[in-house]
Every structure is written in C-alpha cells, then in structure tokens.
Amino acid sequence: MEAAAQFGPALDRLARGYEADADLRRDLRQDIHTELWRSLARFDGRCSLRTWVYRVAHNTAASHVLKHKGKRSLVGLEEIDAVAAGDNPEQELLERDARQRLLQMIQTLKPADRQLTLLYLEDLDAAAIGEVTGLSAGAIAVKIHRIKAALAERFKEGGDDGR
C-alpha cells in the first residue's frame, strides 16, 4: 500500500496520459492498482521500488492501449505537431488550456514515445528512464532531445501557460 500511496498521483497522471475516455481511464487505474498489488508479492529488490512500480504501470497501460486503440491513429514524436495543432491555432488556444493541450498531445503518441514522454515529464533522468524501459542510453538521449523539441514547438506561442 505504501507504493500506491507514494506513487498514487504519478499513477493517476500516467493513466490520464494513456487514456482520454473517463470510463476507460477508471478501468485502467483499477487495472494498474490490481497488477501492482499482485506483483508486489514478487518484488525481489532487483530494481528500485520506483522502477518496479513504473514498469508494472506502463506495462499494464501499454496492454490497455493495444486493446482499446480502435480506430485512433497514433503517431510518433516527429509527426505530433501536424496532429495536435489543429486548423485554427488561435481558436484552439482560446478553448483549451495548456494542460489539456499537453494531455491531448501525449494521448496521441505511439506507446513507445508515450512511455518516454511520460517518464520525462515525471522528471526521471535518463538513467532512471533506461531502467524502467530497458532502452539504451543513446536511444533515450536522442528521444529526450526530440521530446523537448516537440514540446517546445507546441508550447512556443508566448505566455507562461502557452497561450
């Protein structure tokens, strides 16, 4: 339970990054907590508790995305701007606040890019991201660079909150 209490807010954010639909997100949160509870009996200290929790949560969320992807087309970091920007940026800026835009951008990403972006936004460093994902240090460095570029591009339109 300590893990759920300590990482609860981060797991909430993770679920929001993976699922836009409120009902499906509730299911995802329940699945993550169920998996976490079941898995902790097998926690063997081969990695830190944080790494273990993030691995279980991202694995459960990846399964959820693959199961419920439906007709949503997911894109890589390189294509995110064309999808998230919309036809009328000014109107869009009026209607949506920066958090919603950030969420929308994340929810459109392919699972691999989404994992990295979420871990980056949770302020994990490259070594910690590598532990959670198993990706090489070089690949993570390149991807983080692209994440920063994509975020900068999306949120460069002046103002503190991106407006």
Partner 1 sequence: MAADDLKALWQGLDREAESLSLDRIHGLVRRYERRVRFTGAALAVLLLLVGLLGGQMLVKAHDLVMRAMGVLFIAGEAGVCALAYRTVFPERDPAEPAGAYLRRRLQIRLDHARGRWLLMISPLFPFMALNVYVELTRHPGFPRGRLTTLIIFLLAIGLAVVRARVRARKLRAQIQELDQLLAS
Q: Please give the residue ranges that form the binding site for partner 1 (CB under 8 A).
A: 1, 4, 8-9, 12-13, 15-16, 25-26, 29-30, 33-35, 37-39, 42-43, 47, 51-52, 54-56, 58-59, 62-63, 66, 76, 98-99, 102-103, 110-112, 115, 120-123, 131-136, 138-139, 142-143, 148, 151-152, 155-156, 160-162
Give the shortest CB-31-to-partner 1 separation in angstroms.
8
Give the shortest CB-88-to-partner 1 separation in angstroms.
20
By beta-carbon proximity to partner 1, the closer residue of 94 and 137 is: 137
Q: Which residues pair with 75 in a beta bridge?
A: 109
- In degrees, rounded to 5, the angle at the alpha carbon of residue 93 between the alpha carbons of residues 88 and 96 is 115
Find, among 147, 139, 154, 145, the residue nearest to 114 by Cα. Answer: 147
By beta-carbon proximity to partner 1, the closer residue of 80 and 131 is: 131
Find, among 12, 55, 18, 17, the residue nearest to 30 by Cα. Answer: 12
- Unique residue bearing structure tokens 């009328």: 88
Give the shortest CB-91-to-partner 1 separation in angstroms.
20
By beta-carbon proximity to partner 1, the closer residue of 66 and 127 is: 66
Find, among 130, 111, 131, the residue nearest to 14 by Cα. Answer: 111
By beta-carbon proximity to partner 1, the closer residue of 4 and 83 is: 4
By beta-carbon proximity to partner 1, the closer residue of 50 and 86 is: 50
Helix, strand, or coil (residue 67): helix
Q: Which two tokens stand for residue 90?
A: 């000014």
Q: Which two tokens stand for residue 142?
A: 């390149």
